[in-house]
């Protein structure tokens, strides 16, 4: 490879054992440089503005990120020599902030919540103010930029289709919905029989539900992502964060996979639908990042117990998660 960002690992799948299925494959995006699926988003966004010739010698790239995109953009900006400002919030993992700074990024933390109780509105307002004040700023705008879904159609979705040409189900988490939209568009075109199941956290507004408090970064949004549409989705699931935590802990004990919270969310979604799925079916679950970044949150008993009630039994016995799924996962219909 010429550069670190070319080392994308789009062919890494493992079989998840212990769920009663022979063909449930987890796509491990944590093996990418910058440690998450967001490396591909970052490359897609910066390539897009470079191709449009919007990035000049004095440009400053700016983005709002809950963490992983910020780390990935910091890496690409270090590689390509661009100054980068990342706007984060108090839910952002401190190690992510440290990594961004190591790559040379400037990190701004907003602390005021918006009308929906999240931070997205405040982060976006900070960026809009900067754009109005200083024309050197270029907003990557992952929530609206068409390059976000396009890059996942061209990489993530294509790689899954190549590995599993006859895929029955694909489970994808929804944050900005770039991964989800890229996958749903690609599969609609190339493998329309594949059922695309979108998974989000309870408290997110993306599937039209009321906003609520969320603690796990990655999935969910306090404002409807402009790139999202329901058109080619076959199911939508909303997972309680307690189930996501339980699933992460089960996955570590049972398969030796230390995963991030969004992986637990998507896997909880799969498990809650498992009764409806033929045991011979081929299923892929996308795992966006790894768990090292969450040792002080979802893998800390103290962190969990101070934020969620009634978690003691689950923390003592991660296998209990399977008794909780009916009450912690909401199934909305697809369209
Ligand atoms: C850990 C993690 N999971 C899932 C996602 C959601 O991906 P997308 O923004 O493509 O919906 C993100 C996005 O930041 C993430 O960081």
Residue 43, ligand 1, Cβ within 6 A: no
Give the Cα-Cα-Cα angle 220, 226, 229 (nearest 5 degrees). 80
Q: Token digits for 303?
A: 């962190």
Please tell me the distance from the alpha carbon of residue 23 to that of residue 300, in angstroms, as a whole number: 31
What pLDDT score does 335 carry?
A: 43
Total-model pTM: 0.96
Residue 178, ligand 1, Cβ within 6 A: yes
Which one of 139, 167, 182 terminates a domain?
Answer: 139
Provide the CB-side half-sphere exposure for 67 (13 A, CA): 24
Residue 288, ligand 1, Cβ within 6 A: yes
What pLDDT score does 251 carry?
A: 98
**220 plus 243 within the same structural domain:** yes
Quick check: 232 and 149 in contact, CB under 8 A? no
**59 plus 83 within the same structural domain:** yes
The phi-psi region of residue 31 (left if phi > 0; otherwise alpha if psi is between -120 and 50; otherwise beta) is: alpha
Please tell me the residue having the least CA distance from ligand 1 atom 7: 175
**87 plus 202 within the same structural domain:** no
Residue 35, ligand 1, Cβ within 6 A: no
**18 plus 46 within the same structural domain:** no
Nearest in space to 83 (alpha carbons), one of 67, 112, 104: 104
Please tell me the residue having the least CA distance from ligand 1 atom 16: 218
Strands 283-287 and 169-173: parallel
| Residues in CB range of 157: below 8 A, 6 or more apart | 182, 183, 185, 186, 187
Measure 38 CA to ligand 1 centroid, in angstroms: 7
Q: For 157, which DSSP code?
A: I
Ligand 1 site-directed mutation target among 178, 206, 215, 219, most atoms within 8 Å of CB: 219
Residue 175, ligand 1, Cβ within 6 A: yes
**Mean of pLDDT values over 82-96:** 92
**157 plus 261 within the same structural domain:** yes
Q: Token digits for 288?
A: 């966006």
Question: What CATH number does the domain containing 152 carry?
Answer: 3.40.50.1100
Sorting pLDDT into bands at 50, 70 and 90, what band is 71? Answer: very high
Quick check: 87 and 65 in contact, CB under 8 A? yes
Q: Closest ligand 1 atom to the C-alpha of 175?
A: 11
Measure 288 CA to ligand 1 centroid, in angstroms: 6
Residue 218, ligand 1, Cβ within 6 A: yes
**237 plus 177 within the same structural domain:** yes
**9 plus 48 within the same structural domain:** no
**169 plus 72 within the same structural domain:** no
Q: What is the CA radius of gyration of the chain?
A: 19
Q: Each residue of 215-234: pLDDT tens digit? A: 998 899 888 999 999 999 99
Residue 157 burial by Cβ neighbours in a 10 Å radius (0-12, 13-18, 19+): buried
Q: Each residue of 138-192: pLDDT tens digit? A: 999 999 999 999 999 999 999 999 999 999 999 999 999 999 999 999 999 999 9
Residue 185, ligand 1, Cβ within 6 A: no
Please tell me the residue having the least CA distance from ligand 1 atom 15: 218
Question: Which residue range is the domain that position 24 belongs to?
Answer: 4-31+147-333
How many structural domains compose the chain?
2
Sorting pLDDT into bands at 50, 70 and 90, what band is 119? Answer: confident
Which one of 139, 159, 184 terminates a domain?
Answer: 139
The maximal CA–CA distance of the chain, rounded, in angstroms, is 58
For residue 109, what are the β-bridge partners? 88
| Residues in CB range of 225: below 8 A, 6 or more apart | 143, 174, 175, 176, 177, 206
**86 plus 115 within the same structural domain:** yes
Please tell me the residue having the least CA distance from ligand 1 atom 13: 218
**284 plus 171 within the same structural domain:** yes
**16 plus 52 within the same structural domain:** no
What pLDDT score does 66 carry?
A: 73
Please tell me the residue having the least CA distance from ligand 1 atom 1: 218
Ligand 1 site-directed mutation target among 68, 182, 197, most atoms within 8 Å of CB: 68
Which one of 113, 139, 165 terminates a domain?
Answer: 139
Question: 240 or 93, which is more confident?
Answer: 240
**279 plus 196 within the same structural domain:** yes
């Amino acid at each position: 490879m010429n550069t670190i960002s070319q080392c994308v690992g789009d062919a890494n799948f493992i079989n998840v054992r212990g769920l009663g299925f022979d063909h449930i494959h987890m796509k491990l995006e944590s093996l990418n440089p910058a440690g998450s699926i967001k490396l591909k988003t970052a490359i897609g966004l910066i390539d897009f503005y470079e191709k449009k010739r919007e990035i000049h010698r004095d440009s400053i790239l700016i983005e709002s990120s809950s963490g992983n995109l910020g780390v990935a953009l910091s890496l690409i900006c270090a590689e390509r020599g661009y100054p980068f400002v990342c706007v984060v919030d108090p839910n952002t993992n401190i190690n992510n902030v440290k990594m961004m700074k190591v790559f040379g990024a400037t990190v701004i933390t907003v602390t005021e919540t918006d009308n929906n109780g999240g931070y997205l509105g405040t982060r976006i307002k900070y960026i809009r103010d900067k754009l109005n004040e200083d024309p050197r700023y270029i907003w990557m705008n992952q929530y609206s930029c068409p390059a976000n879904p396009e890059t996942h159609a061209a990489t993530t979705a294509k790689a899954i289709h190549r590995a599993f040409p006859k895929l029955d189900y694909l489970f994808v988490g929804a944050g900005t919905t770039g991964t989800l939209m890229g996958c749903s568009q690609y599969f609609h075109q190339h493998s329309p029989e594949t059922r695309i199941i979108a998974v989000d956290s309870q408290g997110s507004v993306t599937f039209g539900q009321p906003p609520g408090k969320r603690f796990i970064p990655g999935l969910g949004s306090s404002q409807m992502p402009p790139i999202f549409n329901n058109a080619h989705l076959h199911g939508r699931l909303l997972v309680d964060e307690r189930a996501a935590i339980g699933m992460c802990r089960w996955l570590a004990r049972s398969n030796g996979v230390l995963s991030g919270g969004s992986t637990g969310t998507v896997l909880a979604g799969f498990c809650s639908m498992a009764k409806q799925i033929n045991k011979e079916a081929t299923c892929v679950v996308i795992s966006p990042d790894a768990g090292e970044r969450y040792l002080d949150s979802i893998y800390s008993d103290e962190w969990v117990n101070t934020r969620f009630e009634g978690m003691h039994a689950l923390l003592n016995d991660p296998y209990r998660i399977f008794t909780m799924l009916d009450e912690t996962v909401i199934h909305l219909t697809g369209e």
